[in-house]
Amino acid sequence: MRISFLLHNAYGIGGTIRTTFNLAGALAERHDVEIVSVFRHRDEPVMGAPAGVTMKHLVDLRKKSPGYDGDDPLAKRPAKVFPRGDGRHKQYSRLTDTRIGAHLASLHADLVVGTRPGLNVHIARQTRRGVVRVGQEHLTLDSHGYRLRREIAHRYTVLDAITTVTEADARSYRERMKLPGVRMEAVPNSVPEPAVAPADCTAKWVVAAGRLTRVKRYDLLVKAFSKVVATRPDWRLRIYGSGDATGNEKQALTALIDERGLSDHVFLMGPANPLEAEWVKGSIAAVTSSLESFGMTIVEAMRCGLPVVSTDCPHGPREIIEDGVDGRLVPVGDVDAIADALLELIGDDELRQRAGRAALAASARFDPVTVAARHEALFTELVTRSASGHSRGALSEALHRGRSTLFDAGYGLRHRAADLIRRSRKSA
């Protein structure tokens, strides 16, 4: 098969980039695979281009590049195709509308895969007939606002399939989005086998990783660890991750660490890439989030042989961790429960090491080869159906285009009416 992935920016750092690279690289061993990055702001991908995969870009943001697009007048005009409800909307423009549209209209592939809602909308609206269309959800339906969910309900009707990273989110799509004929499948993210030997779980370190944002609730972890230190002062905590744009979360955590007298026990390490060399320095991983769309760091830690203490938050941890076997699941927001679970593993060397071995074995199911095989089976089925004329078909697309015209017209009329009301109020 010829498979094309459409990615926001393959030259940055992020979970969606990492899992797309993992999947594309595994599929490239058997298929013709390309990754098309809407934006390019660096000469080389920070996370390393996957072997055997063709890399392309549509908009060049490298100021020293002869193909620099930042001064194009269309880049200053807001996007019309990329939906406003997608959090990346401000980065898109009439230029991206045009470039993505031209790419999808001339696409020489059997199947195209979008990697965020805004790009899935592009694929639904602009891909030439005959190409199978798959939209990936790397976040969750619940994480999107009403405006984007409304766009999804309308535009996704011509997709051939939607894949989510958890079964819980797939259920949300099936139950709440009325998309007849669209396949909805849960396929987890993949994490490759580490290049380092697994942890032996003897070091007296707890490790956590992820961006320093409020949803990760590192404040709860620091508070829980103060209880750990009161009983086991020989243990320490490292937290890896870059701060948010404001730096407020890092400042708040630093203040909390000082307030609790933990400056010799809790360390904000900053970002590390790759992280596997840091995971194996620890013996327990901790995740205290209020929400996880999947839980990549959980799988990464388990692949390094660490048991994970995690909050039982929506949506991913429960589908990854077997409570009491390869980690612990604790109630969201419960500092005492987090501390007790950590102390249980800290206080029993045999239990901790056994859980680490179980984590290592269980996490093999997230290997890129295994996960790619599930995608490959779905993609093959969809492409075969399309070739035999049993896909969504021209009729459903024509019906959708008719509905789209009415939808867009109605949307425009509502906005014009609202504008007229505002003007009349001003004149009054």
- 259-296 pLDDT, tens digit each: 999 999 999 999 888 899 999 999 999 999 999 999 99
Residue 200 token pair: 């032996």
Segment-wise mean pLDDT, segments of 10 residues, the chain, 428 residues: 98 91 96 98 94 98 96 97 97 98 97 98 97 97 96 97 97 94 96 96 97 94 98 98 81 96 96 92 97 94 98 94 98 98 98 98 96 97 87 47 45 44 46
Residue 65 token pair: 């590049």
Question: What pLDDT was estimated at residue 127?
Answer: 97
Question: What pLDDT was estimated at residue 114?
Answer: 98
For 235, phi then psi, to 5°, come to -100, 150
CA 401 and chain centroid, separation = 30
Fold match flag (2-190+370-391 vs 205-366):
yes
Angle at 407 between CA 401 and CA 410, to 5 degrees: 145
Question: What pLDDT was estimated at residue 388?
Answer: 81
Question: What pLDDT was estimated at residue 418?
Answer: 44
DSSP sequence for 345-389:
HHT-HHHHHHHHHHHHHHGGGG-HHHHHHHHHHHHHHHHHHHHTT
Closest CA to 281 of 215, 199, 187, 216: 199
CA–CA separation, 19 and 190 (whole Å): 6
Walk across the sheet containing 236-240 and list its strands: 266-270, 236-240, 205-209, 284-287, 308-311, 327-330
Question: What pLDDT was estimated at residue 17?
Answer: 95
Q: Are 156 and 177 in contact (CB under 8 A)?
A: yes
AA identity, residue 396: S
Q: Where are the domains of the chain?
A: 2-190+370-391, 205-366
Q: Which helix (H) or strand (E) holds 185?
A: strand 183-186
Coil, strand or helix: which one is 297?
helix
Largest CA distance in the chain: 78
2-190+370-391 is a CATH 2.60.40.10 domain: no
Question: What pLDDT was estimated at residue 112?
Answer: 98
Q: Which helix (H) or strand (E) holds 257?
A: helix 248-259
AA identity, residue 139: L
CA–CA separation, 350 and 29 (whole Å): 40
Please tell me the pTM assigned to this model. 0.85
Question: What pLDDT was estimated at residue 273?
Answer: 81
The domain at 205-366 falls in which architecture? 3-Layer(aba) Sandwich (3.40)
Coil, strand or helix: which one is 235?
coil
